[in-house]
Amino acid sequence: MASSLTKDPASTSGSEKTFFGHPRGLATLFMTEMWERFSYYGMRALLPLYLIAPNGLHMNPATATAIYSVYVSLVYLLAMPGGWFGDRVWGPRKTVAVAGMVIMIGHLTLALPAQGTFFVGLGLVAIGSGLLKSNISTMVGHLYDGPDDARRDGGFTIFYMGINAGAFAAPLVIGTVGENVNWHLGFALAALGMGLGLAQFLMGTRHLNERSLVVPKPLSAAERTSTLRKGMIWLAVAAVFYIVTVVTGVYTLNWLLVPITIAGLVIPVVVLVRIKRDKELSATEQSKMSGYIWFFVAAAIFWMIYDQGGSTVAIFADSSANNSVFGWNFPVSWYQSVNPVLIMALAPLFAAFWLALNRRGKEPSTIVKFSSGLVLVGASFFLFLMPLTIATDGHKAAAMWLVAIYFVQTVAELTLSPVGLSVTTKMAPAKYASQMMGVWFLAVTAGDCTTGLLSTAGVELNGTGVVTLQAVLAVAAGFAVFMYRGKVKKLMGSVH
């Protein structure tokens, strides 16, 4: 990394050195995020496989899918309170440091060979990821001289590459060790990855902007007391409830999963309704929020299907796919490296493609891109029907069928996800400008909680009927957004 550092007296990082022409602090945040994503995606690649493995927790696929979906939904659900902690309690820098420690402890807890501690570890990783997710992106923004800094977009692009580099390497390293050597050693490697990220973050904090130490809107003494009291009351209620269910012998895993999935569906609705009914919003802002709800619901459908690439599709691969290339067998978890490597390869091409169309005045609108992403993710599940059909005859489906599914889903992601992030910032009411990114993450929560709720209800998500139904739903949603594009465009006002 030292070779990438050059002298630049214009650096705004507090150091004379830069990182590929960017503030030196970007290197610190790049490496922190890369190692955090390494730990997160490595563990996530192992999770459904460990849950169903005979030498793991040996659960049925439906329960494993429900746990996986609830875990992923919690990570995104907790991004909102994570951002709140950064804004009102600790400041971004301290919040990220605490988050890294919590994530590392969570992975170490997963490495313990006991079912009870395993779920505690999952909870800790989800909490830590929620704390880190919003605040580390905020610190990247702090490195630049406002939104008009010419280097800002490039800095976030480099940061985004760190995410995908960690996500690509994780299944190849952690997945291989977990599947072929020992599950818990794989989880321990995830802890090591987060430990490396935390260590270099603490050593590199001197290169970060001083604003990352500031609590933007600290809680008053009265607010702190009230928040703590309410938190303790809810914690006590939950503790009493679960103690009673355990003592009376009625507790099952669904007593934990179902309330979380319902909360993951209810909370996004409550948040959107609260913003939509805020009388302080102008008529224009109210209109934009009405338009945004279209995008939000469509995004929830998209993520419901897309995130099953790590659960439903992965579990199918474990039991019914010929996981080999030219006679060489590879671990099932390696499929999870397909998406990040495709992202790194295709994202620059998509950016250049949209720019070229824009210069010709032919770039598709936000609505068209969004509807295309939905149709494509639906098409990925229509494609999934092929290996499912092959496997019903007792044969093993070829690995390339699954690679094709991940390829189509990646193209769909590049069509919809960046557009969703952009439209969220553009349509956000001024009063909720800092909260709307958390609202976008709630679409992921809603999608994954829908999957989790179906799984806890015993629905076989890798059955041809259910896969077809989900594919039809996504394609229909895509066409609905397209057919009503005039109405949605009108609601969006000046946003294009």
Q: What is the pLDDT of residue 170?
A: 96
Sign of CA dihedral 16, 17, 21, 25: negative
Mean per-residue pLDDT, 104-132 = 93
- Specify the pTM: 0.90
- Give which of 86, 83, 88, 82 is closest to 103, Cα–Cα: 82
Place of tokens 């998509």: 350
Give the Cα-Cα-Cα angle 454, 49, 468 (nearest 5 degrees): 40
Q: Is the pLDDT of residue 5 over 50?
A: no
E strands present in 392-476: 397-398
- Dihedral through CA 169, CA 173, CA 179, CA 182, nearest 10? -140
Residues 191-221 as b or e (16 or more Cβ within 10 Å = b): bbbbbbbbebbeebbebbbeebeebeeebee
Write the pLDDT tens digit of every residue in 13-56.
444 577 777 888 889 999 999 999 999 999 999 999 999 999 99
pLDDT in tens, 130-150: 999 888 888 888 888 866 677
- Residue 424 to residue 473: CA distance in whole angstroms: 23
Contact 165, 67 (CB under 8 A): no
The residue count of the chain comes to 496
Selected residue with higher pLDDT from 64 and 363: 64
**CA separation for the pair 93, 99 (Å, rounded):** 10
Return the pLDDT at 172.
96
d(CA 251, CA 339): 38
Calpha distance 299→446 (Å, rounded): 9
Nearest partner of 155 among 15, 37, 27, 343, judged by Cα: 27
The rounded Cα 417 to chain-centroid distance in angstroms is 11
Residue located via tokens 């830069």: 18
Q: What is the dihedral of CA 204, 206, 209, 212, to 10 degrees?
A: 80
Amino acid (one-letter) located at 321: A
Cα-atom radius of gyration of the chain, to the nearest Å?
23
List pLDDT tens digits, range 389-441: 999 877 899 999 999 999 999 999 999 988 887 788 778 887 787 678 788 88
What region does 326 belong to: left with phi over 0, alpha with psi -120 to 50, or beta?
Answer: left
Gap between the Cα atoms of 292 and 3, Å rounded: 45
- Cα–Cα separations (whole angstroms), residue 372 to 23, 111, 282, 364, 431: 37, 41, 31, 10, 31
Measured CA to CA, the distance from residue 202 to residue 351 in angstroms comes to 34
Give the Cα separation of 29 and 77 in Å (integer): 23
User: Which tens digit of pLDDT belongs to each residue from 210-256?
Assistant: 988 988 888 899 999 999 999 999 999 999 999 999 899 888 888 88
pLDDT of 71 > 50? The answer is yes
What pLDDT score does 84 carry?
A: 87
* pLDDT surpasses 90 at 472: yes
- Cα–Cα distance between 132 and 83 in angstroms, integer? 8
For residue 143, which phi and psi values (nearest 5 degrees)?
-70, -15
Is the separation of the CB atoms in 305 and 470 below 8 Å?
Answer: yes
What tokens appear for 26 in the block? 């970007």
Compute the distance between CA of residue 442 and CA of residue 452 in angstroms, rounded to an integer.
15
Q: Cα(167)–Cα(160) distance, rounded to whole angstroms? A: 11
Angle CA 116–118–124, to nearest 5: 110
Q: Could you tell me which residues are beta bridge partners of residue 380?
A: none
* DSSP structure class, residue 113: S
Q: Residue 153 has what pLDDT?
A: 67
Q: Indicate the pLDDT class of residue 338, thresholds 50, 70 and 90.
A: very high
What residues contact residue 338 under an 8 Å CB cut-off, 6+ apart? Answer: 403, 406, 407, 410
Tokens matching residue 473:
């739903």
Question: Distance (Å, rounded) from C-alpha 26 to C-alpha 6?
Answer: 13
Q: Is 480 exposed, middle or buried (0-12, 13-18, 19+ CB in 10 A)?
A: middle
- Residue pair 478/371 in contact by the 8 Å Cβ criterion: yes
**Which of 59-68, 89-98, 145-154 shows the lowest per-residue confidence on average (mean pLDDT)?**
145-154
